[in-house]
Structure 1
């Protein structure tokens, strides 16, 4: 498991899993968020919009809780994310968009 540096908050993966799956925590922290998200050919805002779209299309609403908030940190505004999910209803299915919108409502109401 990646070591948490002195005074540094544990990552989300570390908080979720602890030392249970050290490989998955490493790949999440060091590869996905440490390398993939930092590649320069797309900005964080674009990566967040793509990620929200992929999670919505796949019906992965558990992951949307984090990624909708992360998208806001990366510069997307609430209305853009709501519009993206609405648009996705026509391409990935109404039930998936409705489930994603329920998560968005919860996330945006609490923060």
Structure 2
């Protein structure tokens, strides 16, 4: 599995599980592995319907910090 896809799966699992303390370093690694800002936005939006808006909103705030740097 490519590092890009592995990062997408890891970040998705962390968001769905509500493990936000681990999300920042994994989002940083995902960015290094080529996961784009648009992909993260799509992922979080899609997960919001399954994991809930509170988890998605928390993830968006963390992702904004990582992808606006």
Q: Normalising by structure 1, what TM-score?
A: 0.59
Which of 18, 24, 40 is residue 65 of structure 1 equivalent to? 24
Higher helix residue share: 2
Cα RMSD (Å) of the superposition?
A: 0.9
Count of residues in Structure 1 that have an aligned counterpart in Structure 2: 69
- Pair member with larger Rg: 1
Q: Which residue of 2 aligns with 1:54?
A: 13
The higher relative CO (CA closer than 8 Å, separation ≥ 6) is in 2
Correspondence list, 1:66-85, <5 A: 66-85=25-44
Correspondence list, 1:1-111, <5 A: 42-109=1-68, 111=69
Shift of 1:96: 0.6
Distance in 1, Cα, partners of 2:57 & 2:27: 15
Shift of 1:82: 1.2
